[in-house]
Amino acid sequence: MKPNFSIEFFPPQTLEGVKKLKVERARLARLKPEFFSVTYGAGGSTRERTFSVAREIAAEGHLAVPHLSCVGASRADIRAMLAEFKAARIQRLVALRGDLSSGMADRGELRYANELVEFIRAETGDWFHIDVAAYPEWHPQAKSPSDDLQNFVRKVRAGANGAITQYFYNADAYFRFVEEVRKLGVEVPIVPGVMPINNFSRLARFSDACGAEIPRWLRKKIESCGDDSASIQAYGVEVVSDLCRRLLQNGAPGLHFYSMNLSALIARILEQIDLARGA
């Protein structure tokens, strides 16, 4: 049986964006992902939009998985969100701390993702399948790799069913992370997050902020393509497809694609690695 894959969207800000996403989503739906997830802006800034895209996905007959972050939120806010998800028959979530954005003074009542997972379990029992975030190259604010690892283990023990990683281009970081987590007795599936290479300057900026390394060989090669976006994308598809193959051949339980609301590169990668079903 082919391994599962899932695809992540962000909730568009405009009606035009919502329409475009619907078209991209229809293209990806033909490839039969396990689920579509929808990100959640820190402090509830996308609360309505995340929920509305998740509802649309569910209405189209797909498994919808909203993200939920606790930074800047009260317990009452989270409780209300959980009730809305339950009422909409949503049963799977990605639970995160999120990042305090500039201008947000209030950190909220739950400080870390482990406290959010604990709260969701206390409030809703086993209603939700909960995934949490994992960082094979370590979270940028972690005191040390071992501290980050312990914090990861803590949030899984709080009741997570699985994890999705930050994206990376260095497969060994993932294999070592999984190995270290297993040594600590944590057995939940850890699905690698995969970022296709599209707009490289944006990707480089974002990678600096979120602590994902772009290896020198990859950066140099892409920089040598200059403004030739077709060459950058073609090389990116080759590199990311190789990464996916290596991950799956060495035990990754599936793949989670960060789509940036675009379907073309994911479709090309899935075709390369023979994961597209019934396209």
Strands (E), 135-229: 162-167, 190-194
| Contact set for ligand FAD, span 36-55 (CB under 6 A) | 39-40, 42
Stretch that binds ligand FAD, among 21-29, 76-84, 112-120, 178-186 (CB under 6 A): 112-120
Tell me which residue of 177, 137, 167, 134 sits closest to 239, measured CA to CA.
167
Q: Three-state DSSP class for 64?
A: strand
Residue in the structure block whose two tokens are 């701390």: 97
What is the per-residue binding string for ligand FAD in 185-204, x denoting contact by CB under 6 A? --------x-----------
- CA 186, CA 179: separation in Å to the nearest integer? 10
Does 67 sit near ligand FAD (CB under 6 A)? yes
Does 69 sit near ligand FAD (CB under 6 A)? yes
CB of 88 to ligand FAD, least distance (A): 18
Q: Name beta bridge partners: 6.
A: 256
CB of 175 to ligand FAD, least distance (A): 17
Is 179 marked active-site? no
Q: Any idea what the Cα angle at residue 229 is, between residues 202 and 136, rounded to 5°?
A: 45
Task: Kindly tell me which of 142 and 264 has the beta carbon lying closer to ligand FAD.
Answer: 142
Q: Which of 52, 74, 151, 199 binds ligand FAD (CB under 6 A)?
A: 151
Does 259 sit near ligand FAD (CB under 6 A)? no
Task: Kindly tell me which of 73 and 232 has the beta carbon lying closer to ligand FAD.
Answer: 73
Does 164 sit near ligand FAD (CB under 6 A)? yes
Residue 116, Cβ density class (10 Å: 0-12 exposed, 13-18 middle, ≥19 buried) = buried
Stretch that binds ligand FAD, among 26-34, 80-88, 96-104, 179-187 (CB under 6 A): 96-104
- CA 168, CA 19: separation in Å to the nearest integer? 30
Cα–Cα distances (Å) from 184 to 146, 198, 209, in that order, read: 11, 36, 28
CB 29 within 8 A of CB 38: no
Six-digit token string for 162? 């699985």
CB 71 within 8 A of CB 99: yes
CB of 34 to ligand FAD, least distance (A): 14
Q: Three-state DSSP class for 10?
A: coil
CB of 67 to ligand FAD, least distance (A): 3
Residues contacting ligand FAD: total by CB under 6 A: 25
Q: Which of 55, 92, 97, 268 binds ligand FAD (CB under 6 A)?
A: 97
Q: Which of 108, 148, 196, 260 binds ligand FAD (CB under 6 A)?
A: 148
> Which residues are within 8 A (CB) of 140 and not within 5 positions of it... i.e. 6 or more apart?
209, 210, 211
Residues that bind ligand FAD (CB under 6 A): 39-40, 42, 67, 69, 94, 96-99, 112-114, 133, 139, 141-142, 147-148, 151, 154-155, 164, 166, 193
Residues that are catalytic:
8
